[in-house]
Structure 1
Amino acid sequence: MIVYKTEEEIEIIKQSALILGKAHGEVAKAITEGISTLQLDKIADEFICDHGGLPSFKGYNGFKNSLCISLNSAVVHGIPSAYTLQSGDIVSVDCGVYFKGFHSDSAYTYAVGEVDASVTDLLTRTKESLYKGIEWAVAGARVGDIGFAVQSHVEQFGYGVVRELVGHGLGKSLHEGPEVPNYGKRGQGMKLQEGLVIAIEPMVNLGSRHVVQEEDGWTIRTRDKKPSAHFEHTVVVRKGKAEILTTFEYIEKALN
């Protein structure tokens, strides 16, 4: 189901996205060696609820937490736990906010303490690929143009692009059409029109693209156990240049 948004609806998604961005910032402040991923989950949950939103993920298909926290070789959908962060870990924090009837969704991957240079490069290049994809979220382009931009940027470094999980439309539902893969061919797929709100979310592996699902029924992990990075923004398709609705501003303030 493809649902184009009115300007009024886009404004509400922006408000949702601002709560989300600030919640991410609170989590970013707390990411340090020795904190448990459940503690990070509690920080996000309380911030979102205190600011009039609801965590989009909590209760979604039975998921019990507000954050998906994916460590090291986990790609996405990791479950918060008593595990405490260690130097050398990378941790993907994915969060959504439901506010006044609309969802926003974004993710950021952090390095904890001293991380191998090859992993630092993976994070940098995956984040770059997000913005390469966003450049193509413009009226008249096609879904395949976004995927091609992401894929071509990261594959030049020998990384694997996950195929089984993709970006998506969102609005009144957390997952709407269209699917937005992080791979593709130029000029292929649905033509983008103004007012389409999509989550673009590169999931990029240091090794091969292949993934497996853990026995918990949620966590997706790289088959070769090598690290994976994940960055995500919610954007609206515009003429000429996409508009990014979510923000990493509060994350970057916390990190600096």
Structure 2
Amino acid sequence: MIELKSAEEIDRMAVAGQFVGELIQELSGVAAVGVNLMDIEHHARRRISERGAESCYWDYAPSFGRGPFRNVLCLSVNDAVLHGLPHDYVLRDGDLLSIDMALGINGWNADSAYSFVVGTPDPADLKLIEATRVALEAGIAAAQPGGRIGDISAAIGQVAHSYGYGVNHEFGGHGIGRTMHEAPHVSNDGRARRGMRLDPGLTLAIEPWLCRTTDKIRYDEDGWTIRSSDGSRTAHSEHTIAVTPDGPRVLTRRPGEGAPGAAATPGSRAER
């Protein structure tokens, strides 16, 4: 069942979304060469507790994974792209880190992901990150009232292919609201003018993710961490949005991030 949210309910989701954006921005500043992933995890736990928010990941136990998930973040490094378990790993110069976080405040949830390079960036990594960010903005721009969900998928896929990357169809975006994962599924490639109608009140997490030289994935023994099948670098960008009568409203933008419709500029920790 797909629940359309009222304007007031979207405003409540925006409260959670603002905190998600702010905290991801804060955590990207914590991440640096020599920092342990578990330091980032514990920093997030403290800030979530201080805000009175709840992690959507803690105790999450879907059909995949060896659950329940016992962290508040997904931290995916280099060839890991989704569901990376925070663990005892010290960040190195040039690591590509993806932070994925979903939080709830007063029963309403928001989800976002951000990839960046720690230390000295490889231009190929910056291109990959840029592709996910441009694809995300294209998907958001396509989330127009009266359109179709295939419009979002087609916009994302067109950008990915224009950069020369393949698209995996196993994981994509999703509805979100009272719970982290709601219907519908939002593929990262598809056909425009196909699929369910985009009515005002629909809230979605749109999340293009790409691997540099493959569209195939493999799982770590932990049952959670998803990596590129060939060990190539990966990137992941995500925002929670609401379809409104006036167009898409982004609920999880980070402080200082570009205005809606403007593609984010890729950068490294050294450049910010």
Question: How far has the Cα of 1:240 moved from its partner?
Answer: 4.5
AA in 1 matched with 2:136:
L
More helix by share: 1
The corresponding residue for 1:23 is 23
AA in 2 matched with 1:44:
A
2:206 to 200, 206, 210: 200
- SS of residue matched to 2:43: helix
**1:87 and 2:116 correspond:** no
Aligned partners of 1:113, 1:160: CA distance in 2, in Å?
27
CA offsets per residue over residues 95-118 of structure 1, 9 Å max, x none?
A: 011110111000000101112211
Question: How far has the Cα of 1:204 moved from its partner?
Answer: 1.0
TM-score by length of 2: 0.90
Aligned partners of 1:196, 1:220: CA distance in 2, in Å?
28
The corresponding residue for 1:36 is 36
AA in 2 matched with 1:6:
S
RMSD: 1.6
The corresponding residue for 1:133 is 139
Aligned partners of 1:212, 1:240: CA distance in 2, in Å?
40
Q: Is this contact kept in 2: 1:24–1:251, CA < 8 A?
A: no
**1:218 and 2:224 correspond:** yes
Question: How far has the Cα of 1:206 moved from its partner?
Answer: 0.8
Question: How far has the Cα of 1:215 moved from its partner?
Answer: 1.1
**1:151 and 2:157 correspond:** yes
- SS of residue matched to 1:161: coil
Aligned partners of 1:157, 1:24: CA distance in 2, in Å?
26
The corresponding residue for 1:8 is 8
254 and 242 in structure 1: CA distance in 2 versus 1, 3 angstrom threshold? farther
Aligned partners of 2:244, 2:4: CA distance in 1, in Å?
12
2:167 to 161, 181, 186: 161
CA offsets per residue over residues 107-164 of structure 1, 9 Å max, x none?
A: 0001011122111111112111100000011111111111110111111221122211
Q: Output aligned runs, 1:223-238, within 5 Å.
A: 223-238=229-244
- SS of residue matched to 1:126: helix
Aligned partners of 1:149, 1:12: CA distance in 2, in Å?
28
Aligned partners of 1:37, 1:251: CA distance in 2, in Å?
24
Number of positions where the alignment pairs a residue of Structure 1 with one of Structure 2: 256
- SS of residue matched to 2:91: coil
Aligned partners of 1:153, 1:21: CA distance in 2, in Å?
24
Structure 1 outlier segments of 4+, above 4 Å: 250-255
46 and 255 in structure 1: CA distance in 2 versus 1, 3 angstrom threshold? farther
TM-score by length of 1: 0.96
2:102 to 93, 96, 119: 96
CA offsets per residue over residues 8-29 of structure 1, 9 Å max, x none?
A: 2111101111111121122011
Aligned partners of 2:180, 2:163: CA distance in 1, in Å?
32
Q: Output aligned runs, 1:101-120, within 5 Å.
A: 101-120=107-126
